[in-house]
Amino acid sequence: LSLSQQPRHIRTLQTLSTTPKMSQGSPKAPVVAEAHEVDTYHPPKKMFAKHPSKPHLSGLEEYQKLYKESITQPDKFWGRLARELLTWHRDFQTVRSGSLVNGDVAWFLEGEINASYNCVDRHAFADPNRVAIIYEADEPTDGRSVTYGELLREVSRVAHVLKAMGVRKGDTVAIYLPMIPEAVVALMACARIGAIHSVVFAGFSADSLRDRVLDARCKVVITTDEGKRGGKLIGTKKIVDEALKQCPEVKHVLVYKRTGADIPMTPGRDLWWHEEVQKYPNYIPPEPMNSEDPLFLLYTSGSTGKPKGVMHTTGGYLVGAAATGKYVFDIHPGDRYFCGGDVGWITGHTYVVYAPLLLGVTTVVFEGTPAYPNFSRYWDIIEKHGVTQFYVAPTALRLLKRAGDQFVKGDFNKHLRVLGSVGEPIAAEVWKWYFEVVGKEEAQVVDTYWQTETGSHVIAPLAGVTPTKPGSASLPFFGIEPAIIDPVSGEEIHGNDVEGVLAFKQPWPSMARTVWGAHKRYMETYLNVYKGYYFTGDGAGRDHEGFYWIRGRVDDVVNVSGHRLSTAEIEAALIEHPIIAEAAVVGVADELTGQAVNAFVSIKEGHEASDALRKEFILQVRRSIGPFAAPKAVYIVPDLPKTRSGKIMRRILRKVLAGEEDQLGDVTTLSDPSVVGRIIDVVREAR
């Protein structure tokens, strides 16, 4: 076996063959690789020259030793880490209980802890003037910094406000905020009083917000008058007002004044943040929480139309966030860390807010986009603040790579040691561009694989320690025991150089404990698919050296620009349109966004297909879910390919879009096989 050989793809599995393909080009020998290990990149030497001290681990051997301990003696390993990384109100006695089979996993039992105390107080006491947040506003000149001392005071005030609004321990609070420091304050204020935060990405529509507020039974919503992103205004308060027309349980809306827009305030319900905080003292004691008390809910898409409220608990989640932040990003005191993710998604929760604050470093909160005012914005921010770690999704990198290397300018590399990638597979060309053009071969690229449900990184290199291969998320994090399973037989495939679906064999501290109000769905989605395992929903390969290559989702989830979308949810949005009879949505490979949404719809009698109608259908999805879910193409077809029992065969639609009409497979189960030809005609005509 050649050491540079990449693992093969599964061609036999329909679901896997439609996912984005990794680059198959023969790898060229990179400068930093040793001769016998082509395509393997070792942590670049220059990264160590910039280091404030040295990485937390001495090298791959120490990782292997600790990894082994984390798998064979998890209680010892995690007990030690939990005490080392966090400050507990009351120590735990039982590190771990429950099992994947029974769906009753619990960590750090008897322990009591408060998330905001760990993220804010302990650093504010030690060093109140240390910068906690660098706010990079949409306009480059409008930003400011918030110290740990200031953060503690503002978090305390807002915690008082929430209490005055009637929020009690265990209540849920919806947060519909853009990327401003107040988003961090809001999360911390909830955690401080034991309220469960449920952030809804501020790009979601009023209907989506309403559904999430209702499902979580939120009593309070926190928002702004407006948001500002890429020079454009977003009417956040207006969307909240619309959503709340159907949310009778919401008693109050707390509104932070971001732009000063003239907005209606509902008397008795809506209150201004700046007015309320003036009423209360600058300190409130943190509520000691049981390790297993919920910290937050975050809604994510699954195979069915209804989004799932993924529930994370306090102790385990914090341990996962702090441990991965420390080891994967090699975070050290004094670091200035910049994650470009939005707090509306899990990346923003764990790696804009929790991990950097738990470790007491400075986190950049960026309100804008990588393209505003121009394509140099990220590099300008990195230079301006001497950023040490940068973390972003491949979709942004593809955009910037395409914009041209002339934008990657400035003396921004001085302190930059780590370049993270997250959310989707990163193609080898993009990885190399990131390493060579952005990082100047002086920073290590870490491709981090994880999910909303895993809470923190599960497969990722440790910066300064793990050798990497472009396109591979490399090796499991501590405590993660991956298994490659044959989806046909359901059996685990042992050994190296294998492909299948990815599962985990052991519980880990930051895994989601349930789906809010739907534990049965949690069991069916994650723990009952392969008994004794946590099922990720992704296809993956393990190569001859034990490195993992994530292939993409094997279920009806599409990944557009790192946004996770459910095809069923988009179909449900389309069917709400009065003219649409039936809809089928599939993901197709897209150069810029990774995957793109394509919709096939049949329309009701008496209507004619037209461009205007197609536009209207796209608008329907924008309105119902949010702009980021809008289909890139809508095909109006006479009928959808259905089996005799009425099941839509999306596989056929995917094949037609891929131009693989000759590989449709078995179509004999279709109730009317002639529809395929008519669909092919529509797609050809549109192109």
Query: By the criterion CB under 6 A, which residues form the site for ligand WT7?
Result: 300, 346-347, 422-425, 447-452, 473, 536-538, 550, 552-553, 559, 562, 564
How far does CA 560 lie from the centroid of its chain? 12
Cβ partners under 8 Å of residue 7, min gap 6: 497, 498, 499, 541, 542, 543, 544, 549
Half-sphere exposure of 616 (CA within 13 A, CB side): 14
Strand partners of residue 498:
542
Question: What's the Cα-to-Cα distance from 488 to each of 14, 492, 643, rounded to whole Å?
Answer: 12, 11, 22
Cβ proximity to ligand WT7, 19 vs 147, nearer residue: 19
Nearest approach, Cβ of 454 to ligand WT7 (angstroms)? 7
The Cα–Cα gap between 418 and 328 comes to 9
**Could you tell me if 23 and 471 are in contact, meaning their C-beta atoms sit under 8 angstroms apart?**
yes
**In sequence order, which residues have a C-beta less than 8 Å from that of residue 91 and are 6 or more positions away?**
83, 110, 111
**Phi and psi, residue 172, nearest 5°:** -105, 140
Q: Is there a cis peptide before residue 373, judged by omega within 30 degrees of 0?
A: yes
Looking at beta carbons only, is 347 or 389 nearer to ligand WT7?
347
Query: Which residue's CB is nearer to ligand WT7, number 309 or number 641?
Result: 309
Cis peptide leading into residue 627 (ω within 30°):
no
554 vs 613, which CB is nearer to ligand WT7? 554
DSSP-assigned letter for residue 138: S
Strands 580-590 and 594-603: antiparallel
For residue 304, the minimal CB distance to ligand WT7 (Å) is 16
Q: What's the closest the beta carbon of residue 537 comes to ligand WT7, in angstroms? A: 6
SS3 for 277-310 is HHHCCCCCCCCCEECCCEEEEEEECCCCCCCEEE
Closest approach, Cβ 395 to ligand WT7, in A, equals: 11
Closest separation in Å from C-beta 220 to ligand WT7: 25
CB of 449 to ligand WT7, least distance (A): 4
In the complex with ligand WT7, which residue's Cβ is closer, 313 or 566? 566
Q: How far is the CB of 485 from ligand WT7 (least distance, A)?
A: 15
Give the span between the Cα atoms of 613 and 208, in whole angstroms: 23
Nearer to ligand WT7, 112 or 453 (CB): 453
Rounded Cα gap, residues 624 and 573, in angstroms:
6
Query: Residue 447 Cβ, how far from ligand WT7 at the closest point, in Å?
Result: 5
- The CB-of-460 to ligand WT7 minimum distance in angstroms stands at 8
How far apart are CB 553 and ligand WT7 at their closest, in Å?
A: 5
Classify 553 as helix, strand or coil: strand
Q: Between residues 424 and 442, which has the closer beta carbon with respect to ligand WT7? A: 424
Beta pairing partners, 172: 196
Tell which residue, 425, 415, 255, 320, has the closest CA to residue 107.
Answer: 320
Asked if residues 414 and 426 have their Cβ atoms less than 8 Å apart, the reply is no
Shorter beta-carbon distance to ligand WT7: residue 320 or 552: 552
Which of residues 365 and 460 has its CB atom nearest to ligand WT7 in the complex?
460
For the bound state, the minimum distance from the C-beta of residue 268 to ligand WT7, rounded and expressed in Å, comes to 37
Handedness of CA 197, 200, 202, 207 (dihedral sign): negative
Residue 259 or 303: the one with the smaller Cβ distance to ligand WT7 is 303
Query: Which residue type, as a one-letter code, is found at position 88?
Result: W
Burial of residue 248 (number of CB atoms within 10 Å: 0-12, 13-18, 19+): exposed
Least distance in angstroms from the C-beta of 431 to ligand WT7: 11
| Residue number, 340 or 562, with CB nearest to ligand WT7 | 562
Residue type, 145: S
Query: Least separation, in Å, of the C-beta of 87 and ligand WT7?
Result: 27
Distance between CA atoms of residues 134 and 147, nearest Å: 9
Q: Which is nearer to ligand WT7, 516 or 635 (CB)?
A: 516
Pick the closer one to ligand WT7 by CB: 368 or 552: 552
Which token pair is 242?
A: 């619309």
Tell me how far apart the alpha carbons of residues 307 and 289 are, in angstroms, rounded to a whole number: 27
CA distance linking residue 70 with residue 77, whole number of Å: 5
CB of 26 to ligand WT7, least distance (A): 22
Residues shown for the chain: 687
Q: Is 275 within 8 Å of 184 (Cβ atoms)?
A: no
Least distance from C-beta 135 to ligand WT7, angstroms?
Answer: 23
Taking the least distance from each CB to ligand WT7, the nearer of 118 and 472 is 472
| Torsion over CA: 340, 343, 348, 353 (sign) | positive
Our CB check for ligand WT7 shows the closer of 562 and 641 to be 562
Going from the C-alpha of 225 to that of each of 141, 178, 228, 562, the distances in angstroms are: 21, 10, 10, 27
